[in-house]
Amino acid sequence: MVELTSNAEFMIKKIAPNIKGKFGIDIEEFLRDPQEFSNDQDIKNKIEQIEAELSEDIEEIIKGMGEAQKRFNDNMARADAISKKLGQAISIQAKQLGIPLIAPKDTEGFENAEIIYTDNADDGVTSLAQKLLGISNFVIIGSITYNEYKVSDWTFSTNGKNYTIRVSIEPNPVLDLEYARTEVMDAIDSAKGYL
C-alpha cells in the first residue's frame, strides 16, 4: 500500500463502506493488494467510476464549507499573485545571469533543501532570490495548481546546499481535503498500474 497521510487514510476509511456497497470493492484492500483484483474483467471501469464519485463527493463537501472555502480561495488568490510576481523577478534575473530555469516533471535528491517560506514578494525576498541566483547552477521551478490558482516554489541548486523559496499557503480544512483527495487519487492511479 502507498504511504498515506492521516487525512488520506481518514478519507479512505470514510468512503470505504459506500464504495463497497455501491461497487462491491473493498477500496482499502484494492490499495493494499491491487493484483488480487486483476481477475475482475470490469475492475478498470469500476475504479474509474469510484474516482469520479470520490471527486464529486469531495466537491460537495467543499461547497458546504462556506467561510473556510472563501478563506481558502482568498488565500490561494494571494499566493497565486505572489507566485507570479516572484516568478517574474526570478525569471528576469536568471535570464540576465544565464542561469537555466527548469520545470521538470519530477525530481529526486532535493529533499534536503533548506526551505524558506514567504507570504510576500517584497524587496527582501527578491534580493534573497538574486543572491541565491548568483551562486546557483540552475533553478527548479515547482508548482501546485488548484482551479485557476498556481502556487510556486523555486529550488536553487548550488555546489553545496540547495535552497528553496516557497510561497506559503495558510492551513485550511479545504486545503487538507484537497491534499487528501490528491493523495487518494494518486494512490488509486498507482494501484491501477498493477492491474
pLDDT in tens, 125-137: 999 999 999 999 9
Number of domains in the chain: 2
pLDDT tens-digit series, residues 26-76: 888 898 889 988 888 889 899 999 999 888 888 888 888 989 999 999 999
Instruction: Give me the mean pLDDT over the 95-110 stretch.
Output: 86
| pTM score over 0.85 | no
Asked if residue 19 and residue 35 are part of one domain, the reply reads yes
Domain-located, residue 74: no
Asked if residue 139 and residue 113 are part of one domain, the reply reads yes
Domain-located, residue 1: no
Is 54 or 168 the better-scoring residue by pLDDT? 168
| Confidence band of 177 (pLDDT split at 50, 70, 90) | confident
Domain range for 21 is 6-66+173-192
Q: How far apart are CA 87 and CA 184, in angstroms?
A: 30
Asked if residue 99 and residue 52 are part of one domain, the reply reads no
Joined together, the cell numbers standing for residue 28 give 482499502
HSE-up of 117 (CA within 13 Å, CB side)? Answer: 4
| Confidence band of 111 (pLDDT split at 50, 70, 90) | confident
Domain-located, residue 73: no
Asked if residue 184 and residue 150 are part of one domain, the reply reads no
| Confidence band of 96 (pLDDT split at 50, 70, 90) | very high
Domain-located, residue 182: yes
